[in-house]
């Protein structure tokens, strides 16, 4: 019962700064709270009714220096804390262009499904390499969950229909708690798991061997996506020069600007591709008809992630639109 730690372990680069910020805010609060509390007690005792030994003449009711200092000092401290906290926030949530290892996390009632790019899957477990910047791309298959790793001081909502990302660098190999921190139904409190951080070489071995307990050699996300592309018959219209239905070319699409029929221009990113699979009518590419059937409700989030990985792999394949 008494082995519950007061603070979680500090196991990521981001956790160091956030712990410092936490303790500085705590120390400042205790300091200023102490001044007010003990000042009030001291004055209440000293000037209590009936105490004849104090001088009550010339009582002042204002002091400019005092008022300026109790206004300006906390103001400067608060702004400094805001600036510091904003910097730490940006370190976790500001989007980055590469240089990271990406994992996909799908929250569903009531489990976490984690997916590595090479196809290794984990349920309620996430294995990561130490010393490597990680991008976690998070989405929910049903209601709003929140993916939280206290030892890394990171958390992000898992929202249906939206890819949320966060970045962090685990530093200390070990096992850490993983929680859902958004009430999501009956078994919310059971929606927990563990994050395992391995030294880089062990992680590589683990990943190449297909993860502990994997039934078969994993197929990379890209290959899974390619298979789905055929299974769902996407290839009868897309990437088929002989198709009767004219569908946009997906070669070189990912990451490029797309002109839409209504005159807008959008970037072909994960969110755009996801929407175009589930609800193709939302953004029609200029020069094409609204002919594709919506896949809403017919495809799992994991499958969409695999399809996006496949379409991403086609980015290098051609000239684009």
Q: Which residues bind ligand CUA (CB under 6 A)?
A: 107, 110, 145, 180, 182-184, 188, 191
Beta carbon of residue 105, minimum distance to ligand CUA (angstroms, whole number): 12
Report the C-alpha gap between 249 and 134 in whole angstroms.
Answer: 31
Residue 126: name the closest of 172, 195, 173 by CA: 195
Q: For the packed helices 270-278 and 301-313, what is the interaxial angle rounded to 10 degrees? A: 120
Beta carbon of residue 123, minimum distance to ligand CUA (angstroms, whole number): 14
Residue 114: name the closest of 175, 139, 123, 302 by CA: 123
Beta carbon of residue 235, minimum distance to ligand CUA (angstroms, whole number): 36
Token pair belonging to 104: 């996909």
Q: Cβ closer to ligand CUA: 110 or 168?
A: 110
Q: Cβ closer to ligand CUA: 153 or 155?
A: 155
Q: Cβ closer to ligand CUA: 14 or 182?
A: 182
Beta carbon of residue 152, minimum distance to ligand CUA (angstroms, whole number): 18
Residue 164 CB partners (closer than 8 Å, separation 6+): 137, 138, 139, 156, 157, 158
Beta carbon of residue 148, minimum distance to ligand CUA (angstroms, whole number): 10
Which residue's entry shows tokens 């109790």? 70
Please report, for residues 127, 166, 200, the alpha-carbon distance to residue 109 in angstroms, rounded to integers and kept in the order given.
21, 21, 32
Q: Cβ closer to ligand CUA: 145 or 196?
A: 145
Q: Cβ closer to ligand CUA: 113 or 226?
A: 113
């Amino acid at each position: 019962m008494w082995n519950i730690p007061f603070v979680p372990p500090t196991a990521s680069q981001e956790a160091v700064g956030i712990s410092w910020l936490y303790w500085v805010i705590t120390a400042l609060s205790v300091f200023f709270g102490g001044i007010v509390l003990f000042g009030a007690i001291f004055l209440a005792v000293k000037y209590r009714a009936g105490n004849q030994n104090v001088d009550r003449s010339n009582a002042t009711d204002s002091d400019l220096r005092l008022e300026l200092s109790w206004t300006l000092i906390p103001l400067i401290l608060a702004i400094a804390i805001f600036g510091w906290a904003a910097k730490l926030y940006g370190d976790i949530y500001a989007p980055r262009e590469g240089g990271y290892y990406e994992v996909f996390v799908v929250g569903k009632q009531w489990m976490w499904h984690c997916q590595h790019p090479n196809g290794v899957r984990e349920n309620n477990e996430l294995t990561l390499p130490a010393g490597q910047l990680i991008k976690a791309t998070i989405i929910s298959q049903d209601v709003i969950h929140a993916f939280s790793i206290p030892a890394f001081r990171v958390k992000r909502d898992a929202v249906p229909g939206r890819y949320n990302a966060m970045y962090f660098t685990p530093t200390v190999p070990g096992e850490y708690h993983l929680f859902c921190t958004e009430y999501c139904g009956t078994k919310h409190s059971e929606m927990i798991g563990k994050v395992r951080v391995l030294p880089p070489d062990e992680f590589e071995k683990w990943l190449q061997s297909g993860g502990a307990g994997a039934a078969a050699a994993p197929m990379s996300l890209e290959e899974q996506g390619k298979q789905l592309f055929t299974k769902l018959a996407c290839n009868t219209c897309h990437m088929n020069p002989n198709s009767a239905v004219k569908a946009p070319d997906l070669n070189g699409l990912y990451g490029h600007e797309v002109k839409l029929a209504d005159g807008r221009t959008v970037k072909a990113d994960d969110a755009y591709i996801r929407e175009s699979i589930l609800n193709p009518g939302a953004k029609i590419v200029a020069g094409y008809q609204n002919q594709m059937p919506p896949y809403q409700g017919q495809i799992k989030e994991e499958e969409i992630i695999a399809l996006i990985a496949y379409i991403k792999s086609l980015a290098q394949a051609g000239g684009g639109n």
